[in-house]
């Protein structure tokens, strides 16, 4: 079904590659969205797709994309924010228009046929720029969008496809814009399990961190930000510390500097360190910052905890499942669609450190249950969330929007 108001697709000669521009923000450290995009481009045939990316900064992500034969452009669009100050409002308006025009010029100059938005915050620039440049546009919705407003409604109407990582992400769009239901494509994340089978990498990391073989290592991995719930993880750790004297706790991740929320996230990180001290567990908690070796991290853990207050999908959950780790997670967002309570994980309510501690303590004590959940988790992620399936859905969307002649 053709989306209302969408530009007519430009026929593509089959011998020519489809020119795709990915619009993301950070070029530095890799969060879930960055790891997902990197995995996708590595599974696109370079003879069929000419891939480009716009990032805000140089860094590890930019380097890895280039290694995957993606042509990277580094340029900041100038994000805007809500304000009642008329001078700031004028400044933001000028910055917005300038950013849209620059992006549209880039799309035309590079003869881009399809723009793929990797972050929600970039839709406000990328969708009007794609329209100006007469390119098709897909919005990869990885985080919740609940307050649309008039601008959000315009963006939804004028993008060609909404790639939603879970039904919980798609639901607000279906509810508020039933007429665009045909634009929605559910695109669950996928993973290659093979890199997560390296048990020796986990043992090496434990030695690096000074973790004794008999220590039970419980950890969480994710961007440091309030909704990821690392404070609940620490409160649960404090409840567990007395009953499990051989347990230690690992917090892997850091703030993403290019985000609008960077200052708030940095303040939250500082509070986490202070909270560990207040709870009397500072000597049993290790804050690693960003780690590039997530498979090794997962294999170093005896138990993985996902304490998110909301979780659009949770690619880190797939990573823990691929490493065959026992899992305790909050039943938030898309989590129950990935790991089922009592089958592949123990699920607890969000923002409930007591429940988190009780479920974690249960798996630390019940080795047979932990092993059964871990085995089932690996089986489910292997059969239900293969990376090739994720890439195949995206390729189908691309082909539908810019069909070969």
- Does residue 356 belong to any structural domain of this protein? yes
Report which DSSP code applies to 95.
H
Task: Write down the pTM of the prediction.
Answer: 0.84
DSSP 132-162: HTT-EEEEEE-S-----HHHHHHHHHHSSEE
CA nearest 249: which of 295, 292, 203, 280?
Answer: 280
How far apart are the C-alpha atoms of 102 and 174, rounded to whole Å?
Answer: 32
Three-point CA angle 69, 316, 40, nearest 5°:
25
Q: Encode the chain (405 residues) as per-residue pLDDT tens digits.
A: 334 444 444 444 445 899 999 999 876 777 888 989 999 999 999 999 999 999 988 988 999 999 999 999 998 776 666 667 777 777 777 878 888 999 999 999 999 999 999 988 889 999 999 999 999 999 999 988 877 888 889 999 999 999 999 998 999 999 999 888 999 999 999 999 999 999 999 999 999 999 999 999 999 999 999 999 999 999 999 999 999 999 999 999 988 765 567 788 899 999 999 999 999 999 999 999 999 899 999 999 999 999 999 888 888 999 999 999 999 999 998 899 999 999 999 999 999 999 999 999 999 999 999 999 999 999 999 999 999 999 999 999 999 999 873
Same domain, yes or no: 204 and 58:
no
Same domain, yes or no: 281 and 313:
yes
Same domain, yes or no: 157 and 49:
yes
Same domain, yes or no: 35 and 168:
yes
Same domain, yes or no: 168 and 245:
no
pLDDT one-digit tens code per residue, 226-236 = 999 999 999 99
Same domain, yes or no: 162 and 216:
no
Same domain, yes or no: 221 and 354:
yes
pLDDT one-digit tens code per residue, 307-321 = 999 888 888 999 999
Same domain, yes or no: 174 and 299:
no
Find out whether 24 and 118 touch, Cβ atoms under 8 Å: yes
Residue 172: which CATH number?
3.40.50.2000
How far apart are the C-alpha atoms of 7 and 59, rounded to whole Å?
Answer: 35
- The total of structural domains in the chain comes to 2
Same domain, yes or no: 124 and 227:
no
Find out whether 55 and 30 touch, Cβ atoms under 8 Å: no
- Does residue 3 belong to any structural domain of this protein? no
């Amino acid at each position: 079904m053709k989306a209302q108001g969408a530009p007519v697709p430009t026929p593509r000669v089959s011998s020519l590659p489809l020119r795709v521009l990915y619009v993301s923000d950070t070029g530095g450290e890799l969060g879930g969205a960055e790891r997902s995009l990197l995995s996708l481009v590595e599974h696109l045939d370079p003879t069929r797709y000419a891939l480009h990316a716009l990032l805000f900064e140089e860094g590890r992500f930019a380097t890895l994309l280039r290694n995957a034969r993606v042509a990277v452009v580094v340029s900041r669009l100038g994000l805007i924010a809500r304000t009642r100050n008329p001078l700031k409002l004028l400044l933001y308006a000028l910055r917005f228009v300038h950013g849209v025009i620059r992006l549209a010029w880039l799309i035309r100059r590079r003869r881009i046929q399809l723009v793929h938005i990797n972050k929600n915050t970039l839709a406000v620039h990328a969708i009007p720029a794609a329209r100006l440049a007469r390119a098709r546009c897909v919005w990869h919705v990885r985080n919740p969008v609940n307050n649309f407003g008039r601008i959000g409604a315009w963006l939804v109407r004028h993008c060609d496809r909404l790639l939603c990582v879970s039904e919980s992400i798609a639901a607000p769009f279906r509810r508020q814009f039933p007429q665009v239901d045909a634009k929605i494509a559910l695109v669950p994340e996928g993973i290659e399990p093979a890199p997560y089978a390296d048990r020796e990498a986990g043992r090496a990391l434990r030695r690096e961190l000074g973790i004794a073989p008999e220590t039970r290592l419980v950890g969480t991995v994710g961007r440091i930000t309030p909704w990821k719930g690392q404070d609940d993880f620490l409160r649960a750790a404090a409840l567990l510390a007395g009953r499990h004297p051989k347990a230690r706790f690992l917090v892997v991740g850091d703030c993403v500097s290019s985000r609008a929320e960077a200052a708030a996230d940095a303040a939250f990180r500082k509070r986490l360190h202070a909270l560990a001290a207040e709870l009397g567990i500072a000597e049993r908690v290790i804050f690693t910052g960003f780690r590039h070796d997530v498979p090794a991290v997962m294999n170093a853990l005896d138990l993985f905890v996902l304490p998110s207050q909301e979780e659009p999908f949770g690619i880190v959950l797939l990573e823990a499942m691929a490493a065959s780790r026992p899992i305790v997670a909050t039943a938030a967002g898309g989590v129950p669609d990935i790991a089922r309570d009592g089958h592949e994980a123990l699920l607890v309510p969000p923002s409930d450190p007591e429940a988190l501690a009780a479920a974690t303590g249960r798996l630390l004590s019940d080795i047979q249950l932990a092993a059964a959940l871990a085995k089932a988790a690996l089986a489910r992620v292997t059969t239900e969330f293969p990376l090739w399936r994720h890439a195949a859905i995206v390729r189908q969307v691309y082909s539908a929007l810019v069909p070969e002649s």
